Amino acid sequence: MNSIAFVLLSILTLAAALATATLQKLMHATLSFAVTLVGVAALFFLLGAEFVGLVLVFVYIGAVAVLIVFTILLTRRDVGKDRGANWGGAFLAVAVFGGLTWAILETQSVAIVAPHLRTLTVKRIGEALMTSYVWPLQCVGVLLTAALIGALVLVMEEKR
């Protein structure tokens, strides 16, 4: 697979992610979150999982990002600056990253090159979903319905 594309994409993704974590303006941060997700989706494409990438874009850009900006607008009172970064958190994050990277680099078994990809068609995914993953699918459906109803109930104005 294409290494240049990979490098560019990962740089983009991580930069956007960092922006998300640090930008002061909430709206900018949110948009950069969207960019992050686009980057991740592109990485998925690179890894030959087009379908998942498309689903990711579809769900996150199309729905979740919009939801988030809406929420930001609805809770507008203290939008604007989001002050006072928490340095302990930053340190902890860096520590975790260090630990993980160290562990990954120590592990030799993951230093492998991708085998030749047998393209994963949507048809195959569909068959898998409908045969061996049908119960999880049903459960997710129920879960989503429950989440929908729950969210509605939560944001309904309580009559007083």
Among candidates 90, 97, 41, which has minimal Cα distance to 64? Answer: 41
Torsion angles phi and psi, residue 146, rounded to 5: -60, -45
The full length of the chain comes to 160
Number of residues that bind other proteins (CB under 8 A): 111
SS3 (DSSP) at 92: helix
| By the rule CB under 8 A, 8 interacts with other proteins | no
Asked whether 57 and 37 are in contact (CB, 8 A), the reply is yes
Residue of the chain from 8, 130, 134, 136 that contacts other proteins (CB under 8 A): 136
Q: Report the site for other proteins in 45-64 (rule: CB under 8 A).
A: 47-52, 54-64
Residue of the chain from 119, 135, 159, 160 that contacts other proteins (CB under 8 A): 119
Binding mask 79-108 for other proteins (x = CB under 8 A): ---xxxxxxxxx-xxxxxx-xxxxxxxxx-
Whole-angstrom Cα distance, residue 63 to residue 79? 21
User: Closest CB to other proteins among 87 and 159?
Assistant: 87
| By the rule CB under 8 A, 12 interacts with other proteins | no
| By the rule CB under 8 A, 134 interacts with other proteins | no
Residue of the chain from 135, 154, 159, 160 that contacts other proteins (CB under 8 A): 154
The widest CA-to-CA distance across the chain, in whole angstroms, is 64
Least distance to other proteins, CB of residue 80, Å: 10
- Nearby residues of 102 by Cβ (< 8 Å), 6 or more positions away: none
